[in-house]
Chains A and B, each alone.
Chain A
Amino acid sequence: MTQTVQHHKEPLLRIVKRDGIARPKAYAIRIAAVLASLVVSGIFIFAITKLNPIQVYEAIFDGAFGTNRRSWVTIRDAMMLLCIGVGLAPAFKMKFWNIGAEGQILIGGVVTAGIMRAWGGDLSTPALLAVMGIVSLLCGCLWGVIPAVFKAVWNTNETLFTLMMNYVAIQITSYCVALWENPVGSNSVGIINQMTAYGHFPKVFGQAYGLNVVLVLILAVGMYIYLKYSKQGYEISVVGDSENTARYAGINVKKVTIRTMAISGAICGLAGFIEVAGVSHTISTETAGGRGFTAIIVAWLAQFNTFVMILISFLLVFLQQGAIQIASQFNLNDYASEIITGIILFFILSSEFFINYRVIVRGGKEAKGK
Chain B
Amino acid sequence: MMDQLIRLLQSSICFGTVIMYGAIGEILTEKSGNLNLGVPGIMYLGGISGLAASFFYEFNNPNPSAIVCLLVSFLAAFAASALGGLLYSFLTITLRANQNVTGLTLTIFGGGVANFFGGSLNTMAGGVGQISVAATSAAYRATIPALSGLGLPGKLFFSYGFMVYLAIVVAVVLHWFLNHTRQGLNLRAVGENPATADAAGINVIRNKYLATCIGAGISGMGGLYYTMDYIKGTWASDGTIESLGWLAVALVIFATWRSVNAIWGSYLFGFLFWAYLIIPNLGRKDIELFKMLPYLVTIAVLIFISLRKKRENHPPASLGLSYFREER
Chain A stretch 291-335: residues in CB contact (< 8 A) with chain B: 293-294, 296-297, 300-301, 331-333, 335
Chain A contact surface mostly:
helix
Nearest CB on B from A148, distance (A):
13
Take A164-B295, A174-B288, A333-B115 as given contacts and tell me if A17 and B306 are in contact as well, using a CB distance cutoff of 8 Å.
no
Interface pair B119/A332, CB less than 8 Å apart = yes
Interface pair A336/B104, CB less than 8 Å apart = no
B22 close to chain A: CB less than 8 A? no
Contacts of B110 in A (CB 8 A): 342
B217 close to chain A: CB less than 8 A? no
A345 close to chain B: CB less than 8 A? yes
A97 close to chain B: CB less than 8 A? yes
Give the residue name and chain of the A residue nearest to B327 (CB).
A17
Contacts of B139 in A (CB 8 A): none
Contacts of B296 in A (CB 8 A): 164, 168
A54 close to chain B: CB less than 8 A? no
CB-contact partner of B97 in A290, A293, A331, A352, under 8 A: A352
Interface pair B288/A345, CB less than 8 Å apart = no
CB-contact partner of A160 in B115, B249, B292, under 8 A: B249
Interface pair A342/B292, CB less than 8 Å apart = no
CA of A350 to CA of B88, assembled, Å: 11
Chain A stretch 141-166: residues in CB contact (< 8 A) with chain B: 150, 154-157, 159-161, 163-166
Interface pair A349/B102, CB less than 8 Å apart = yes
Contacts of B306 in A (CB 8 A): 150, 154-157
CB-contact partner of A338 in B102, B115, B289, under 8 A: B115
Give the residue name and chain of the B residue nearest to A357 (CB).
B96
A15 close to chain B: CB less than 8 A? yes
CB-contact partner of B91 in A170, A300, A339, A350, under 8 A: A350
Interface pair B284/A178, CB less than 8 Å apart = yes
A16 close to chain B: CB less than 8 A? yes
Interface pair B101/A168, CB less than 8 Å apart = no
Interface pair B326/A163, CB less than 8 Å apart = no
A356 close to chain B: CB less than 8 A? yes
A234 close to chain B: CB less than 8 A? no
A353 close to chain B: CB less than 8 A? yes
Nearest CB on B from A239, distance (A):
18
CA of A352 to CA of B94, assembled, Å: 12
Interface pair A332/B116, CB less than 8 Å apart = yes
Contacts of A174 in B (CB 8 A): 285, 288, 291
Contacts of A119 in B (CB 8 A): none
Interface pair B250/A164, CB less than 8 Å apart = yes
Contacts of B298 in A (CB 8 A): 160, 164
Take A164-B299, A335-B116 as given contacts and tell me if A175 and B289 are in contact as well, using a CB distance cutoff of 8 Å.
yes
- Chain B window 108-123, contacts with chain A (Cβ cutoff 8 Å), 1 for yes, 0 for no: 1111110110011001
CA of A97 to CA of B87, assembled, Å: 22
Nearest CB on B from A74, distance (A):
19
CA of A157 to CA of B313, assembled, Å: 13
A226 close to chain B: CB less than 8 A? no
Interface pair B326/A17, CB less than 8 Å apart = yes
Interface pair A156/B100, CB less than 8 Å apart = no
CA of A331 to CA of B247, assembled, Å: 33
Contacts of B100 in A (CB 8 A): 97, 99, 159, 296
Interface pair B101/A346, CB less than 8 Å apart = no
Take A296-B104, A353-B96 as given contacts and tell me if A167 and B295 are in contact as well, using a CB distance cutoff of 8 Å.
yes
Contacts of B243 in A (CB 8 A): 167, 170
Nearest CB on A from B128, distance (A):
11
Give the residue name and chain of the A residue nearest to B114 (CB).
A335
B43 close to chain A: CB less than 8 A? no
Interface pair B98/A300, CB less than 8 Å apart = yes
Give the residue name and chain of the A residue nearest to B292 (CB).
A171
Interface pair A178/B250, CB less than 8 Å apart = no
Interface pair B288/A175, CB less than 8 Å apart = yes
- Chain A window 264-287, contacts with chain B (Cβ cutoff 8 Å), 1 for yes, 0 for no: 000000000000000000000100
B246 close to chain A: CB less than 8 A? yes
Interface pair A338/B109, CB less than 8 Å apart = yes
Take A338-B109, A338-B115, A342-B106 as given contacts and tell me if A168 and B295 are in contact as well, using a CB distance cutoff of 8 Å.
yes
A337 close to chain B: CB less than 8 A? yes
Take A160-B250, A167-B295, A350-B95 as given contacts and tell me if A293 and B108 are in contact as well, using a CB distance cutoff of 8 Å.
yes
Contacts of B111 in A (CB 8 A): 290, 335, 338
Take A154-B303, A293-B107, A332-B120 as given contacts and tell me if A346 and B87 are in contact as well, using a CB distance cutoff of 8 Å.
yes
Interface pair A154/B307, CB less than 8 Å apart = yes
Interface pair A346/B105, CB less than 8 Å apart = yes
A260 close to chain B: CB less than 8 A? no
Give the residue name and chain of the A residue nearest to B120 (CB).
A332
Q: Which residues of A contact B (CB under 8 A)?
A: 15-17, 97, 99, 150, 154-157, 159-161, 163-168, 170-172, 174-175, 178-179, 285, 290, 293-294, 296-297, 300-301, 331-333, 335-343, 345-346, 349-350, 352-353, 356-357
In addition to A150-B303, A296-B104, 14 A-B residue pairs with Cβ atoms within 8 Å of each other are A15-B324, A160-B249, A164-B295, A167-B292, A168-B292, A175-B286, A332-B120, A333-B237, A336-B116, A338-B115, A345-B101, A346-B109, A349-B91, A350-B97
10 contacts between A and B (CB under 8 A): A97-B100, A156-B306, A157-B306, A167-B292, A171-B289, A296-B100, A296-B104, A345-B101, A345-B105, A349-B91
The list of the 5 closest CB pairs from A to B, nearest first, reads A342-B109, A338-B112, A178-B285, A333-B119, A174-B288
